[in-house]
Structure 1
């Protein structure tokens, strides 16, 4: 039997980043405010986790103006989808003892 945690992705150790990716993988896009409300986080806390995911190229950001207000929208990238699914598969194998 190999290392049971070896295939887990360290970026997804955070429950917040797990939550963000779980939301993005089932939605085409989600705004910053929607993520903040769904995950019940402060602006700064959410922003730091989104930055980590963006730096890993797991999500992309689109900023636009709606009237005079900025609207920031997040999309999962193909790399993000693949990496998150691989992480979930590794968790499942670990739980099942495969």
Structure 2
């Protein structure tokens, strides 16, 4: 039987992706700038990690214009919410395990 650590979701291995999902789980939608400020990230760092989460279907991206300015917002997809909950449950199991 595999150790519980092998059940962790690799999509959340990096602290930035973990942070992005945590913020999105607590909010319906978050703008790029708010997410960047909350996690204290550069534009490029945030963009690359959100792109990785979008690629696996965990983050939904909405782009629109507010006046003449582009506005990008992110939200967790249904699959992303479930995957993150499963990841957190696995972390809890790991913390409780005697191994």
TM-score, reference length from structure 2: 0.95
Q: In structure 2, what is the Cα distance between the partners aligned to 1:62 and 1:2?
A: 38
Aligned-residue offset at 1:2? 3.8
Q: In structure 1, what is the Cα distance between the partners aligned to 2:47 and 2:23?
A: 15
Q: In structure 1, what is the Cα distance between the partners aligned to 2:92 and 2:39?
A: 23
- Segments of 5+ residues of structure 1 without an aligned counterpart are none
- Segments of 5+ residues of structure 2 without an aligned counterpart are none
Aligned-residue offset at 1:26? 1.0
1:70-89 matches, cutoff 5 A: 70-89=70-89
Query: Counterpart of 1:70 in 2: which secondary structure?
Result: strand
**Would you identify which runs of 4 or more consecutive aligned residues in structure 1 move more than 4 Å?**
none
What per-residue deviation string (whole Å, max 9, x for no partner) do you get for residues 56-94 of structure 1? 100110000011110000011000000000000000000
The answer to whether residue 31 in structure 2 is matched with residue 52 in structure 1 is no
Q: In structure 1, what is the Cα distance between the partners aligned to 2:65 and 2:7?
A: 40
RMSD (Å) for aligned C-alpha atoms: 1.1
TM-score, reference length from structure 1: 0.96
